[in-house]
Every structure is written in C-alpha cells, then in structure tokens.
Amino acid sequence: MSHPVANRRTFGRGRWSAADLVERKRRQDLRISVVLPARDEEKTIGSIVERLVADLVDGEPLVDELVVVDSDSTDATYEVAAAAGARVHRASEIAPELGSRPGKGEAMWKSLFVTEGDVLVFMDADLVEWDTDFVVSLVGPFLEDPAIDLVKGFYERPLILGDGSALAAGRVTELVARPVIALQWPELSGLVQPLAGEWAIRRSWFAELSVPTGYAVELAALVDTAAAHGASAIAQVDLGRREHGHQGLHDLGVMATQILAMARDRARADGTAGPETVHLRQFAIRDEEPVALDRFVPVDERPPAVTVPRYASRDAAEHPC
C-alpha cells in the first residue's frame, strides 16, 4: 500500500548542510524562528539554547531568532534560558488582553505574537539526546519546495529505564494517535512520529489554524493541513535519535484526552466544538482501596491568529504591501 507522505515527502538525514541552507535562505529572503515552549525545564533548557546559539546563531546563521516561551514555569526556566542566550517571553505576558490558558499549544499560539520568522521551528525543551542538525533538517524542505507547509520530524526514540532496560516509547503515539489516525485520517498514516514536538510550519499557515491549547496542537496541525492542502503539503524528515523526559501514565491520560477531544471536534459535522473541559476520572490504590483522582482537562482551542485584531494589525504593520 502506498502512503503519499511516506513515499513522496520523506527526507533522509544529512541532506542539507547549515551553510547550504543559509545561502538558500538568503536568496529566498526567508527568516527562521526557533521556538521552544517550556514548562519547568530548568535542567535541560540551558544546554539546548547554548548549543543552538553556538551552532546556528553565532556559527552558521540559519536561525534568525531563538525564542523560549515560558509556559507558567515555577522553576528557573526563564532565568536559565535568558542566561543561555534566548529571548524569553512568559506566555501569560504575551498579548495579555487575550487572557492566559495553561498548555503547550497556548505557548505555541502565543509565540505567533512575538516572533517574526517566515518559518517557525518548534522543539521540545526537555531533550537530553538530540542534535542541532534537527533544526537544519526541519528547515530544509521549505527551502527546497514552496508547496510544503509543514515539516514533521521523526526519530528513533528509546525509553531507557533506570536499570538500563528499554520500554517501547511513544505510549500515546501507539495507543491513541495511530489508532485515531487509522480510523479518521488514514492519509496521515505514513507519518512515523505524528506527535513529535520537533516540527516546523510556515508562519502564514500556522496563523490560519485553530490551535488547541494543550497537547493536541501537533495532531491538529497535521489534520488541518492535510484537510486544507492535501497530505502532500506535509513532509517528514529523519532526525536520527532523540531522548526526552517521560511523563507518568496519568499525565499521559490527560494528553490522550486532549487528542481525542480534538478528534471528536474535527469529526463534528456542524463544525462546532464540544465543551472546553473534560472531566477525566483516574484511580490510584491507597491503603488497598481505589481512590478517585479527578482531572479537569482543558480541551479548548485558540482561534486562527489572523482573526485576532492584534495579530492582524501587527501583520499589516510589519509586512506592508
């Protein structure tokens, strides 16, 4: 069976060098923003920013701006990222008149209001094994093919336990994302890592999208891009190997709920959204008795930024013509 995404738009590793892309970027007059949404990542954010600055800002100048959006951190993420050389914004302080919601998607949506780049490259801020070449590979397809709107990373992703043994990683990917893709969006089934936090999108297109405030932001962007422009507007690139922090199963239940709520909303024939919060009941065993753990999971979305007057006026002012 052939998959358009896998067959026609999958790029291997090392296809582009940073120097090559800097030259193409200059010729095409494109600007690149790297955005790291970060909540309580003081342990990892410093070295990620330092390495990106060294290789792709001070080294080959592929990255025009490096922005950390601090997503309600209670640790020193803000200070560590700033000291390492990033421009840091607190999500809650960006366009404060628009209010503040919790979540990764919220931080990414808000980044539209404080960045300038024509291509936005997103990366997780909890990476422990990764390479600055991730950014090079995520940018490459845009500079090669103007028909590409979104580029998704994929990688080998082991989950190494304390005793050195390994588990199958990508638990939400395997148990929620792939099944829902198989049921509702088989045209996306060629994507190796549909939930990867390492991906890039044209600003002009991201600003047209409704953006879930939580963890459904990745899958929603894929689904909406394929629906509007076809799966061939999506490319995927091999990033090699990546290791990151891992959430516990109960927190992954929240992520799964957000993804399923997005799928439910996209399937509603009348285009309306369901309730903005889902009551998720989980259980723990305490003193040999089950104890209910009630979570109220936000599943709301931000409207396309282009419909927000502040974004529209910002856009018109900065890109006259």
Ligand X SMILES: O=c1ccn([C@@H]2O[C@H](COP(=O)(O)OP(=O)(O)O[C@H]3O[C@H](CO)[C@@H](O)[C@H](O)[C@H]3O)[C@@H](O)[C@H]2O)c(=O)[nH]1
List interacting residues with ligand 3PG (CB under 6 A).
Answer: 157, 159, 169-173, 195, 246-247, 252
13/270 Cα distance (integer angstroms): 42
Shortest gap between Cβ of 280 and ligand X (angstroms)? 16
235 DSSP β-pair partners: 151
Pull the structure tokens for residue 286. Answer: 């305490």
H helix intervals, 200-277: 203-206, 217-229, 249-267
Partner that binds at residue 273, options ligand 3PG, ligand X, none, CB closer than 5 to 8 Å by kind: none
Partner that binds at residue 17, options ligand 3PG, ligand X, none, CB closer than 5 to 8 Å by kind: none
Shortest gap between Cβ of 225 and ligand X (angstroms)? 15
123/136 Cα distance (integer angstroms): 12
Pull the structure tokens for residue 152. Answer: 């998704």
Shortest gap between Cβ of 306 and ligand X (angstroms)? 23
255/38 Cα distance (integer angstroms): 16
The nearer residue to ligand 3PG, 184 or 247, going by C-beta atoms, is 247
The nearer residue to ligand 3PG, 15 or 178, going by C-beta atoms, is 178
The CA distances from residue 5 to 9, 17, 110, 195, in Å, are 5, 23, 29, 15
Partner that binds at residue 92, options ligand 3PG, ligand X, none, CB closer than 5 to 8 Å by kind: none
The nearer residue to ligand 3PG, 59 or 170, going by C-beta atoms, is 170
Other CB atoms closer than 10 Å to residue 127's CB: what's the count? 22
The nearer residue to ligand 3PG, 140 or 153, going by C-beta atoms, is 153
Shortest gap between Cβ of 77 and ligand 3PG (angstroms)? 19
DSSP 31-42: -EEEEEEESS-T
Shortest gap between Cβ of 198 and ligand X (angstroms)? 8
H helix intervals, the chain: 4-8, 18-28, 45-52, 77-84, 104-111, 133-144, 171-172, 178-184, 203-206, 217-229, 249-267, 309-318
Tell me the residue nearest to ligand X as measured from the CB.
197
Partner that binds at residue 169, options ligand 3PG, ligand X, none, CB closer than 5 to 8 Å by kind: ligand 3PG
Interface contacts to ligand X, rule CB under 6 A: 37-39, 41, 71, 102-104, 107, 124-126, 195, 197, 215, 218, 244-245, 247, 255
Partner that binds at residue 124, options ligand 3PG, ligand X, none, CB closer than 5 to 8 Å by kind: ligand X
Contact 110, 36 (CB under 8 A): no
Shortest gap between Cβ of 319 and ligand X (angstroms)? 27
